[in-house]
Structure 1
Amino acid sequence: MPSTALSLQEYLEALPEDRKKAMNALREVLRANLPQGFVEEMSYGMIGYVVPHSLYPAGYHCNPSLPLPFLSIAWQKNFMAVYHMGLYADPELLHWFTTEYPKHSTAKLDMGKSCMRFKKTDQIPLALLGELAAKVTPQQWITRYENQYRK
């Protein structure tokens, strides 16, 4: 269920302490590794990393007033979710990630199309998620998005 928080601070303050620590660790890794140009903001009730209108004025085709979403992180009831649209859009990136995952975690990969779910905070493969974050620039994401989704 998405948060109703309007700011990152409000979202983080609402988390239980153990989740706050894990969320901040993941945010640090993402911010250190995401290529320049992505912006961190509240997006769809989650912490999102988006391509801002200053880089992609067209915005998201579902709602052009919103920036182009790329990656989001959130705590759901029983797990931390990481949504990486690049995994959904790029089969090679997905293959790389699923091949690398067992090298970084003993937990079974719990994954949907773009959503990875981590039930235990000590099983979040921070280094791998940092590597994943670094693999797609905003311009690469815009190009893939326009080729696959924008009509």
Structure 2
Amino acid sequence: MQSTAPTPELYLAELPEARQQIMQDLRNVILQNIPTGFEEMMGYGMLGYAVPHTLYPAGYHCDPKQPLPFMGIASQKNHIAVYHMGMYADESLLNWFQEEFPKHSDRKLDMGKSCIRFKKPEHVPLALIGELASKMTPLEWIELYTRTFRR
């Protein structure tokens, strides 16, 4: 379910009541932990965190008018999604997350290339998501991104 909300606040307000608290909690834990330089924004119909054009003027290679995406959170029809492009590009970060997840959850990890899916709000390991958000600075993400995707 892609949102057309222009701001994070309006995005959260339009969510079903059963999802509003966990999405607000996810937003808060990311904002408390994500390194300085990333900007919160709406992108691709979800709440996102990106490297602004002021730090990386080239923007996202798929659409240079967009800032360079890094993380996103979304309330989908059947799950809550946390997207983290750094894990897609950095195998050591992915391995760290996969090793840490069982320490924070008794659920099986449901994950795609950059998407972590949680069926129920109470299954979201907020502390782990906060730690994940803290693992890469904007400059580290730019370097990894240009090395991995902009050859």
TM-score (normalised: structure 1): 0.97
Give the superposition deviation at 1:86: 0.6
The aligned residue for residue 136 of structure 1 is 136
Give the superposition deviation at 1:18: 2.1
Q: Distance in 2 between matches of 1:28 and 1:8?
A: 12
SS in structure 1 at match of 2:81? strand
The aligned residue for residue 41 of structure 1 is 41
Q: Does residue 74 of the first structure (1) align with residue 74 of the second (2)?
A: yes
SS in structure 1 at match of 2:48? strand
Q: Distance in 1 between matches of 2:146 and 2:80?
A: 29
The aligned residue for residue 54 of structure 2 is 54
SS in structure 2 at match of 1:111? coil
Q: Distance in 2 between matches of 1:12 and 1:30?
A: 15
> Runs in 1 of length 4+ with deviation above 6 angstroms?
none
The aligned residue for residue 102 of structure 1 is 102
Give the superposition deviation at 1:100: 0.3
Q: Percent identity?
A: 60
Give the superposition deviation at 1:11: 1.0
Give the superposition deviation at 1:136: 0.4
The aligned residue for residue 88 of structure 2 is 88
Aligned residue pairs: how many? Answer: 151
SS in structure 2 at match of 1:97? helix
SS in structure 1 at match of 2:72? strand
The aligned residue for residue 28 of structure 2 is 28
SS in structure 1 at match of 2:113? coil
Gaps of 5+ in 1: none
* One-letter identity of the residue aligned with 1:134: S
